[in-house]
Homo-oligomer: A and B are copies of this chain.
Amino acid sequence: MPYELIEGLPSTHGDHYPLNTTTLIRHAARTYPEQEVVYRTGGGDWDRYTYADCFDRVKRAAKVLRELGVGPGDVVGILDWNSKRHFELYWAIPGLAAVMLQMNLRLAPTDLGYVTSHSGASTVLVDESLLSVAEELAPHAPGVRTWVVMSDRPLSEIETSLPNVMHFEDLMQTAHADIDLPLIEESSAYSACYTSGTTGKPKGVYYSHRGIYLHAMAQAATLSMDIEDAVMLITPMFHGQSWGLPQSAVFSAAKIVLPGRYAASETSVLVETMVAERVTVANGAPAIFQPMLDHIATMDDKPDFHRLRLLSGATEPALAMMRGFAELTGARVVHAYGATETTPFVAVNRSKPVLDSCLTDAERWDLMRSQGLPVCGVDIRLVDAQGNDLPHDGVAQGEVLVRGPWIIERYHNIADDADRFLDGWWRSGDMGRIDGNGYLKLTDRIKDVIKSGGEWISSIDMENAIVSHPEVVEAAVIAVPHPQWQERPLALVVTRDGQEIPTSVIHRLLADSFAKWQLPDDIVYVDRLPRTSVGKLDKKALRAQYAGSAQLLS
């Protein structure tokens, strides 16, 4: 434990009535047995059942797993879309004190094999539509002894090269719901999710029952969710547990809507279902919401989404998209901040009554694009390059550090994670500011920041300033190694006509926001900037290409 804890007098609440996820689903099923779970089947049809029926199947699934030999501490993998069975396994596996491994079906077979083997999973449940993923994975996951296929079709109709495959629904048919799910030590792992690992191997985050439970309560309270909400889970349940929304929705006894597998061409299906089921909360990246808005723009009768909150993460939503949803449908895009390591809720954007009267319309929209206000329970700090605290004044920029009951304190079974933590705080790798009203605004990734003379220079701020010149099409500012200053900024600029701009003009553009020592020593004009497969500036490639240029510049 990285904290020094002071002990007071023992309380009469006792030590430890445990926070278990089973409590959430059992409470919902007992108190709101009539509430609905709506789901899309493998065939593309929509169907529904009640919380009571769902919990009955949860218990039967737990019985099935126990009969397959799954016990406390065992790891069980799932390869599935946001389906009804996936949702049941969310409660059945952890209900046995086993660990649900979230298997990202978009990973390469070798990476997914690494994740599966590193977790020690010996049982994997796979949706029929993903058998090919499992078959490619199998050679890279030799520890998996039991494969269970989930399908509405009988086993005899399913073809697969997986060895000794069992059929989930066959097992369910003979299983009874007469199982008492145990009380579980709350620091036990509920599920495991591995970071995508842009650098190095994926790293394992093992969420505790306690962390998931507290996150569910905090999220439900922060989003004011209740039984009259209908929550559509669009963000994959196989990564970051769909941002914790399945659990907060059940805590709130909200209606659940599971879209299953849907193709990019089926945006209209999502929108129609949101209308039909009166969805009030949905989650996703801006890349999911933008096609929805495009579709809505073509509709004659615009849907009335005035109760809908679109919980948006991963990247900053575009202003035009936020305004578009508001103007066409009344829906609010709610920008939230978090990471795999943070369960993920760290901050969420919401307007404050105190600001209503003092912001212009443009300022308010700009604020809505920020990462928002910290969620109660999570501590946020900004630190400089030396780890010193920075003020929350809207000016000082530093790395965002986070700690709290649902923030990791280490990675699973790896030796060298010390650089990701500072005194028990998790280092997000994000650089940002916090203003006097408490709003967090990310400005850069630390890895893209220029570390010069023991200080940091934000590459993105500098890029934005340079791009404000009318002749500049795009710009990238990268760090190049420097013998005296460690790193120096180098600006790569694409101009409209290929002409260079005098350095003094660029420096004048930067003078307002940057100190003199922070200005780039030289500017390189290029025809175009390299981009990654998802369209982001490929700064890694640029850094490699220009690594030797500091000597030239100095």
Contacts and interface: CB of A to CB of B under 8 A. Distances in A.
Contacts of A226: 221, 224
A185 interface: yes
Given A11-B187, A185-B8, A224-B226, A24 B376 contact: yes
A12 interface: yes
A102 interface: no
Interface stretch (A199-207, A305-313, A447-455, A509-517): A199-207
A58 B128 CA distance: 59
Contact of A187 (B1, B13, B377, B406): B13
Nearest to A436: B33
A183 B2 CA distance: 11
Interface string A188-214: 111000000000000011111111001
Given A19-B405, A251-B221, A376-B28, A205 B12 contact: yes
A16 interface: yes
Given A30-B392, A34-B354, A17 B404 contact: yes
A381 B62 CA distance: 23
Which of A12, A75, A99 has most chain B Cβ within 10 Å? A12
Interface string A404-428: 1111111110000000000000000
A5 B457 CA distance: 50
Nearest to A28: B376
Contact of A17 (B252, B405, B437): B405
A448 B181 CA distance: 36
Contacts of A527: none
Where chain A touches its partner, the secondary structure class is loop
Interface residues of A, number: 87
B408 A8 contact: no
A7 B20 CA distance: 12
A139 interface: no
Which of A350, A436, A438 has most chain B Cβ within 10 Å? A438
Interface in A205-234: 205-211, 214, 217-218, 220-221, 224-228
Which of A17, A30, A182, A404 has most chain B Cβ within 10 Å? A17
Contacts of A406: 13
Interface string A221-263: 1001111100000000000000000000001110000000000
A352 B13 contact: no
Which of A7, A24, A350 has most chain B Cβ within 10 Å? A7
Given A220-B221, A376-B251, A8 B405 contact: no
B211 A11 contact: yes
Contacts of A374: 27, 30-31
A405 B13 contact: yes
Contact of A218 (B12, B15, B217): B217
A45 interface: no
Nearest to A221: B221
Interface string A54-78: 0000000000000000001101000
Contact of A377 (B12, B23, B185): B23
Interface in A368-388: 373-374, 376-377, 379
Nearest to A213: B377
Contacts of A412: 12
Contacts of A5: 16, 18, 182-185
A408 B404 CA distance: 25
A37 interface: no
Which of A28, A33, A204, A217 has most chain B Cβ within 10 Å? A217
A187 B376 contact: no
Given A32-B438, A408-B12, A3 B183 contact: yes
A10 interface: yes
A221 B253 CA distance: 11
A188 B9 contact: yes
Interface of A: 1-19, 23-24, 27-28, 30-35, 72-73, 75, 97-99, 182-185, 187-190, 204-211, 214, 217-218, 220-221, 224-228, 251-253, 350, 352-354, 373-374, 376-377, 379, 392, 403-412, 436-438
Given A3-B183, A9-B189, A9-B206, 15 more contacts: A3-B16, A6-B184, A7-B188, A8-B189, A9-B188, A12-B207, A13-B406, A14-B408, A15-B187, A17-B407, A27-B379, A30-B374, A31-B373, A221-B221, A253-B376
10 contacts: A3-B16, A5-B182, A6-B72, A6-B188, A8-B184, A11-B190, A11-B211, A34-B352, A217-B377, A221-B225
